[in-house]
Chain A
Amino acid sequence: MKKHIRLLIGFFGLMTMCSLALLPNATLAMLSVMLALCINLVLFKYLKPSNNFEVTRVFDKYQVMPPADINASLEMKYNGRFPANASVEFDCQSLGLNINTGTVVFQPGQKYDISKTFVADRRGVHKISATKVVVKDWLLLSGITITSNDEAEILVLPHIYPFETSPQTSAAGLLGVSSAVKQGRSSEVWGIRDYQPGDDFKIISWKAMAKSPDHKPKSKITAGEEGQAITIVTDIGKDSELPNGDQISLDISADLAASLSYNFIKRGTRTGLVLFDTRTRAVLKPARGETHVDSLLRNLAKVQPSQDKFLITSFTNSYLELSASEFGNSFILILTRTDDRLIESYLSKLKSSRDLIIILIYNEDNYERAQQIQKTVEENGVQMILTNHSSVLDTMKKMEEWSYATVKRT
């Protein structure tokens, strides 16, 4: 039962008692308070103060790289003719943001500003709830809730660790090629490849498309596009939700995948991404350009651990099916699963003619098992790096060296 109805019933009972006890003064006192309560409710419904609020909510950033400070500001204006009570609230549970002004009395024409800075330090898509304005009557007995249609999302991208050497002085620079992202595209054509989403329309080779048997769009490989494409495969299976420092293993995988793709693309290498658990969950074919970087980062920001464990047998089949023309000959596999007894033998089989490096993410519970896998796999000629939350920078350094070697080979 609503609060004001309960109160009115209580007063009515008390007034009846006084009436029957033939106590006119007490009856009038009860009646007077009851009438005041009713006038309050009638005026609230009649004047509709809820229609006179203007609420504006602004966030200074909607896409950030962690850790970043985001400023939320809220501006309220009341245009009614009488005082009104209202509270405003919205939250983002995943980022620990909770704004609730509490009930504030607004005088006609009064403005109310509130601003709060919060830290976005967790990768992912964080939902900001719609702004809820609760307008109450003068005695705070009943209220009207207005929910505005302003739900928003804050995208917290994975953390990007830059390579120590800038693209201009890197192996790519020494080889005489430069970042196409930064410095534009050369007109010198080195070859033809399949069109990839994100390719500039200027490099589409219409002639090559017409000549090709499948008539699919082809893109020119131009100067500035460095070496063979690299594909990063990330394990998003159930084990990726294992704790790793303050984060989970998938956060470290995402940071590494994002950092590597960003650095490779900045250097001019086409880079792709495959998300895998029991099967391929998402594929971004190797490409370059800002749109592609944006797409990679968004996918890595949104990815969450799946309910299924990473299956090395399925992965082996899928890996062998990835064509070199589309996905290149260099693969980086970022693994989080260690409890599968088949992992060593299957990983050893993946070597073949491809250039493969495996990054195995461990935590304090599976460190010994990770070492055991590393030993077996490296004995079979596959390079493996062990990493956890505290050794990401070292891993990035090793991957930078690996990438120079890959560029030189291609």
Chain B
Amino acid sequence: MLPLRELRTYISALSIAPIAVMIANPVVLNAFVSYLSSIAFFSAFGLIAVYLMLKQIGFIKSLGANQQVFFESLLLVLPIIIPMFTVLTTQNPADFIAAFLAYLVIGTVVSLSRVVVGAGVGAFGKVLYFFFAYMMALMVYAGCVAGAITGETFSLLLAFDQIAGIATYLGYEGHPIELPLIEYVRLGMAFAIPGITFSALAAQVRLSEVRDNPGAESKMVSSLRSSVALLTLGSAILLLPVYLISIAIVNFAPYLVTIIPPVLVMGFILLVLYFVERD
């Protein structure tokens, strides 16, 4: 019988639900199935799977530094190099897009697995993997939805438009599309954000515990569970002012709604921290 994992693992698993909604839906699955006949798609999966397997068994670490760099680059870059020849010879980007989609899917799955069961991952790592998973899942979903509309299975350009906010400040004209399941994703995120906060804080405690005493059992996380829950509650309460400020500015500055409210609230709490630390 498998031992039951800790509460933070279950909370992490629930927190990735909105991302899972974007990956596991009929639109994405259709695109996935239609690429199954592509050699580039298969070779990308195959090479990355070989890389992950060799890494898991410790073969890559056993190589010398130069050999390691060469071997890792070869296995990770080769899946995208092979379809480049097809693009150059036939002017058809289908193989390249297939390989790119394979990268995105694998990246999302690996990031999600690190969020849920990543050993040796602290608060920063958890949130970073969550961010990568969210961004890549968004690209996969948007690309597949747009591809279904345009008839090209996966639209690479519209997938990038979904995360091209920075480029729009520099004059790029992006065309982000309204995704069908985005309301479910938003609703899921209302629960996922406190969940990932709790999970990240618990992971930080565990990481510090392991650094202090590498052989120690995981005792501190359970002893400090109430404290971590209190911090999560505190941060959730402090998100309310962000929501209120967002409502206030959304009408006259919609492009600043993701910048001004978080910076104002963060600035306030950092100021409080500064004064408390100074005393």
Contact = CB atoms under 8 A, between A and B. Distances in A.
B255 A27 contact: no
A23 B276 contact: no
Contacts of B169: 20
A109 to B, nearest CB: 14
B189 A25 contact: yes
Interface in A21-49: 21-42, 45-46
Interface stretch (A135-143, A303-311, A315-323): A135-143
A102 interface: yes
B160 to A, nearest CB: 11
A19 B123 contact: no
Contacts of A313: none
A105 B224 contact: yes
Interface string B245-259: 000000000010111
Nearest to B174: A22
B269 A38 contact: yes
Given A24-B257, A42-B273, A33 B127 contact: yes
B123 A139 contact: yes
A105 B223 contact: yes
A206 B10 CA distance: 90
Given A35-B269, A141-B204, A26 B262 contact: no
Contacts of A18: 131, 258
B219 interface: yes
Given A18-B131, A39-B231, A102-B212, A23 B194 contact: no
B224 to A, nearest CB: 6
Contacts of B66: none
A27 B258 contact: yes
B235 A39 contact: yes
B124 A23 contact: no
A7 interface: yes
Interface residues on A, range: 35 or more
A15 B260 CA distance: 12
Interface in B219-243: 219-220, 223-224, 226-228, 231-232, 234-236, 238-239, 242
A357 B67 CA distance: 74
A9 B192 CA distance: 23
Interface string B261-274: 01101100110110
B109 interface: no
A94 B27 CA distance: 71
Contacts of A37: 123, 201
Contacts of B223: 83, 105, 107
A19 B216 CA distance: 39
Contact of B266 (A10, A15, A41, A103): A15
A324 B260 CA distance: 95
Contacts of B209: 103, 140
B21 to A, nearest CB: 12
B266 A140 contact: no
B193 A28 contact: yes
Contact of B239 (A26, A32, A46): A32
A139 B165 contact: no
A275 B131 CA distance: 74
Given A7-B124, A29-B131, A85 B220 contact: yes
B14 interface: no
B154 interface: no
Interface string A119-146: 0000000000000000000111100000
A32 B130 CA distance: 13
A14 interface: yes
B197 interface: yes
Interface of B: 18, 123-124, 127-128, 130-131, 134-135, 138, 163-166, 168-169, 185-186, 189, 192-194, 196-197, 200-201, 204-205, 208-209, 212-213, 216, 219-220, 223-224, 226-228, 231-232, 234-236, 238-239, 242, 255, 257-259, 262-263, 265-266, 269-270, 272-273, 276-277, 279
29 contacts: A18-B131, A21-B164, A23-B163, A25-B18, A25-B192, A26-B131, A26-B135, A28-B189, A29-B134, A30-B262, A31-B265, A32-B196, A33-B123, A33-B235, A35-B234, A38-B269, A39-B234, A39-B238, A40-B231, A42-B272, A42-B273, A45-B276, A45-B277, A45-B279, A82-B227, A83-B224, A105-B219, A105-B223, A140-B220
Given A15-B266, A38-B269, A139-B123, 20 more contacts: A15-B262, A20-B259, A23-B138, A23-B258, A25-B18, A25-B186, A26-B130, A28-B239, A30-B262, A31-B242, A33-B196, A33-B200, A35-B266, A36-B235, A38-B270, A41-B276, A45-B273, A83-B227, A140-B205, A140-B220
